[in-house]
Amino acid sequence: MNGEDPQERPEQIRNIISGLERYNPQAADILEAYLTQQCEEKFTDCASNRALLKLYVLMRPLRTQFQLVLYDESFLYA
């Protein structure tokens, strides 16, 4: 298993983390759902988790308590 470029990574996630979409606050919802998938299916995608962490840093005032809990979880995987 390669945490940097796992074969489980969907094309939509690949497009987000490789383009300007990674700075779109709406991408956080998609990346959060993907993080949940990673936890459920027991694999890691470090690049997508780093992109989510960066979004959290940029959007910190906009995030809810639930999303900040996911921030801690995604940090463990990044």
Q: How far out from the chain centre does Cα 30 lie?
A: 8
- CA angle 22/10/55 to nearest 5° reads 20
Domain ranges of the chain: 11-77
State the pTM of this model. 0.72
Domain 11-77 has CATH 3.10.310.40: no
Q: How far lies 27's CA from each of 2, 7, 13, 21, in Å?
A: 23, 20, 9, 7
Instruction: Dump pLDDT digits (tens) for 48-67.
Output: 999 998 988 887 665 554 45
63 φ/ψ angles, rounded to the nearest 5 degrees: -85, 150
Q: Give residue 66's pLDDT.
A: 46
Residue (of 25, 29, 27, 8) closest to 17 by Cα position: 27
Which segments of the chain have a pLDDT < 70?
1-4, 60-78
